A = this chain, B = another copy of it.
Amino acid sequence: MWQIDEDALVSISIGAGILGTGGGGNPYIGMLRARELVREHGPVDVLDLDELPDDSRVICVGGMGAPTVGVEKVRGTESYRAVRAIEKHTGERATALISGEIGGSNSLEPLIPAALARLPVVDGDGMGRAFPELQMTTFFIYGIPPTPSAVCDEKGNTAIIEDAVSPTWVERMARAVTIVMGCAPVFAFAPMSAADVRRTAIPGTLSLAKSLGEAVRRAQREKGDPVEAILTTVPGRVLFQGKIVDVERRTTEGFARGRVTIDGMGDDAGAQLVVDFQNENLVAHRDGALIVTVPDLICIVDAERGEPITTELLRYGFRVSVLGFPAPPLLKTPEALAVVGPEAFGYEAAYVPLEPRATP
């Protein structure tokens, strides 16, 4: 067991911003919100999957919507209400909370109800990154029932998805409600058992986010290379270096969709990289050739400081490094690729796993 204190929050927010592949909600705002509650209620306990008591009831919670909205309409304690709504509806109290996705502010969303309800959070999540749609969690891919689930907004509205013929139908109904709620509600679903969580979660991702953030911060302090520090912490490779020259972005159907175009610099001078996103970065084309796809991670970071640049903050002129990381094994099985592979996002391309760079 370890604890998330104020300092850990800062590190996690940086690491989760990187793992979020552009999405998962603005990590800095998520950190500020969680910090308020940690200051008021004290640090939050983190349990490894192995440390979860066998009779645990673990509620998964996270934000829904478009990150372009999430940076303008900051959430309050809706996720506490969502947890309580599920507890009331199922008649079961949660004993721990877990993040639906480790990416971005959603890594920290469970800390808010955890601090308020004095519950621990689990060191793991349902994506090992961020994805835009609910059916894309490993929980649902590997058979955890997606109902009942709750969607709560900041105004006091709550919808419960009681029955759904598939996880994709939960996404459809929850997304429709998300849009009328103004694109920044929270989502929670019925408690999972310890065995369920151990079987289906991506393990250790809160620790990983913390290590990543610590490595970046250390490199910044010691005038090292933060990008190198990232790649030393997580096996991956630099896909491209350059300057953002164009950003197309629109908030539509409850998502931030668009693409960013980057002109190469240094070793990549003369080349161009285009990254498509739906909240999260989905695929990268170099000079028209597809080089990386979901579920592998495509992460855009500030070239100097190594800090993540989420899709809603991409701007003309930023100097960036684009990093690629292999997806966790649970996202690369045939059943997972059917839900989170490139074809699930409408691309006519088979998944070709990204290889990390050879160890020097």
On A, residues with C-beta under 8 Å from B are 85, 89, 148, 150, 152, 155-165, 169, 172-173, 175-177, 179-181
Contact of A173 among B85, B159, B163 (CB under 8 A): B159
| CA of A176 to CA of B174, assembled, Å | 9
| CA of A180 to CA of B181, assembled, Å | 15
- Chain B residues with Cβ below 8 Å from A159 are 159-162, 173, 177
Residue of B nearest to A149 (CB): B159
Closest 6 CB pairs of A and B: A176-B176, A158-B163, A160-B160, A158-B162, A176-B180, A172-B180
| CA of A23 to CA of B169, assembled, Å | 29
In the complex, how many angstroms separate the beta carbon of A261 from the nearest chain B beta carbon? 33
In the complex, how many angstroms separate the beta carbon of A333 from the nearest chain B beta carbon? 27
| CA of A164 to CA of B176, assembled, Å | 16
- Chain B residues with Cβ below 8 Å from A175 are 180
Q: Contact at B163–A157, with CB atoms within 8 Å?
A: yes
- Chain B residues with Cβ below 8 Å from A150 are 162
- Chain B residues with Cβ below 8 Å from A169 are 155, 157
Q: Contact at A156–B163, with CB atoms within 8 Å?
A: yes
In the complex, how many angstroms separate the beta carbon of A323 from the nearest chain B beta carbon? 36
| CA of A172 to CA of B151, assembled, Å | 14
Residue of B nearest to A152 (CB): B163
- Chain B residues with Cβ below 8 Å from A181 are 173
- Chain B residues with Cβ below 8 Å from A148 are 160
Of the A-B pairs whose beta carbons lie under 8 Å apart in the complex, a sample of 30, sorted by A's number, is A85-B162, A85-B163, A89-B89, A89-B162, A148-B160, A150-B162, A152-B163, A155-B165, A155-B169, A156-B163, A156-B164, A156-B165, A157-B163, A157-B164, A157-B165, A158-B161, A158-B162, A159-B159, A159-B161, A159-B162, A159-B173, A160-B160, A160-B161, A160-B162, A173-B177, A173-B180, A175-B180, A176-B176, A176-B177, A176-B179
